[in-house]
C-alpha cells in the first residue's frame, strides 16, 4: 500500500469534526460529512505530510548521516566534530572524532574544567558503548558521575560506533534536565563548551587533547 497510514487519518479527522464513518476493508466511508470527499482527501494528505516532517531526523545508531543534524562545529583541525539538533525540549548530540579512547563534551565550564557538566562516550569495538553523565568539581577534575554526587543520569538514549581510530558517539538529553548536576542548554545565543578525547577508554585516563570554544547553539543552517 502506498500510504498504509492513510485509512486511519479520516477517523481522527472525523472524530474531531463530529462526523461518523463506516469502515469497510481498506476504506473509510464518510456520511453526514460537511466536506466533499476530495477536500477530506487533501486534508488527509496534509496531515500525513505534517506527520512525516514532524518525525525527528536523528537515528540513535552510532552513525552520522547527511542532514541528520542541523548544526556542526569542528575542533582540533577537524579531528573532533560536534554535531547537534534541538527538537522540542530535547537536544541530540553527535561527536565524530579521531580518537583511540574516550570522547567527551562539557557544557558551560567555570575555570578550565570546574563546575562543568560533562558527558563521556566510551566506545569500544565492536558494540561496547557506555555513556556517562558527569560533573567536574575542580579546575582539573575530578569529574565523578552525577549519580555519585546526588544528581541523576540524564542521558535519555545513546549509541556509538568505532572503526579503528574513528569513533562516533551520539546521545540525547533534555535541554533542561532539572538536575543541579547538569547545565541548562539554551536554544539561542552562544554556549561555551569544552571538548576532549583520550588514548584509552578508561574514564580516569587524562585526555590526549582538550580545548574550549563558544558555539552558536540555536542557529540553523
- Nearest to ligand HEM of 30, 217 (CB atom): 217
Summarize as ranges the residues that interact with ligand HEM (CB under 6 A): 104-106, 112-113, 118, 140-141, 194-196, 204-207, 210-212
Nearest to 117 by CA among 36, 193, 210, 7: 193
- Nearest to ligand HEM of 33, 168 (CB atom): 168
Least Å from the CB of residue 109 to ligand HEM: 7
Q: Give the chain's length.
A: 221
Helix or strand or coil: residue 52? helix
Least Å from the CB of residue 121 to ligand HEM: 10
- Contact criterion met (CB below 8 Å) for 171 and 51: no
Given the DSSP bridges, would you call strands 27-31 and 103-107 parallel, antiparallel or unpaired?
A: unpaired
User: Does 202 sit behind a cis peptide bond, omega within 30 degrees of 0 on the bond before it?
Assistant: no
Q: Hey, how many other C-beta atoms are within 10 angstroms of the C-beta on 136?
A: 21
Least Å from the CB of residue 193 to ligand HEM: 8
- Nearest to ligand HEM of 7, 209 (CB atom): 209
Least Å from the CB of residue 24 to ligand HEM: 60
- Nearest to ligand HEM of 142, 150 (CB atom): 142
Q: Count Cβ atoms within 10 A of the Cβ of residue 174 and give its class: 0-12 exposed, 13-18 middle, 19 or more buried.
A: middle
- Nearest to ligand HEM of 3, 140 (CB atom): 140
What b/e string do you get for 108-122 counting C-beta neighbours within 10 Å, with b at 16 or more?
bbeeebebbbbbbbb
Least Å from the CB of residue 169 to ligand HEM: 12
Amino acid at each position: 500500500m502506498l500510504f498504509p497510514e492513510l485509512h486511519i487519518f479520516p477517523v481522527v479527522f472525523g472524530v474531531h469534526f463530529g462526523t461518523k464513518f463506516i469502515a469497510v476493508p481498506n476504506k473509510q466511508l464518510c456520511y453526514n460529512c460537511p466536506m466533499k470527499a476530495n477536500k477530506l482527501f487533501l486534508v488527509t494528505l496534509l496531515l500525513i505530510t505534517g506527520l512525516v516532517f514532524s518525525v525527528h531526523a536523528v537515528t540513535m545508531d552510532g552513525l552520522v548521516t547527511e542532514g541528520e543534524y542541523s548544526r556542526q562545529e569542528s575542533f582540533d583541525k577537524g579531528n573532533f566534530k560536534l554535531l547537534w539538533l534541538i527538537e522540542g525540549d530535547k537536544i541530540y548530540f553527535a561527536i565524530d572524532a579521531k580518537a583511540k579512547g574516550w570522547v567527551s563534551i562539557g557544557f558551560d565550564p567555570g575555570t578550565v574544567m570546574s563546575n562543568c557538566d560533562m558527558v563521556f562516550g566510551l566506545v569500544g569495538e565492536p558494540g561496547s558503548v557506555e555513556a556517562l553523565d558527569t560533573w567536574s568539581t575542580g579546575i582539573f577534575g575530578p569529574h565523578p558521575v552525577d549519580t555519585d554526587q546526588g544528581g541523576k543520569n540524564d542521558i535519555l538514549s545513546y549509541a556509538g560506533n568505532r572503526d579503528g581510530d574513528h569513533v562516533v558517539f551520539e546521545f540525547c538529553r533534555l535541554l533542561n534536565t532539572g538536575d543541579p548536576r547538569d547545565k541548562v542548554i539554551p536554544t539561542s545565543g552562544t554556549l561555551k563548551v569544552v571538548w576532549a578525547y583520550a588514548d584509552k577508554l578508561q574514564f580516569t585516563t587524562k585526555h590526549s587533547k582538550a580545548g574550549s570554544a563558544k558555539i552558536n547553539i540555536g542557529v540553523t543552517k
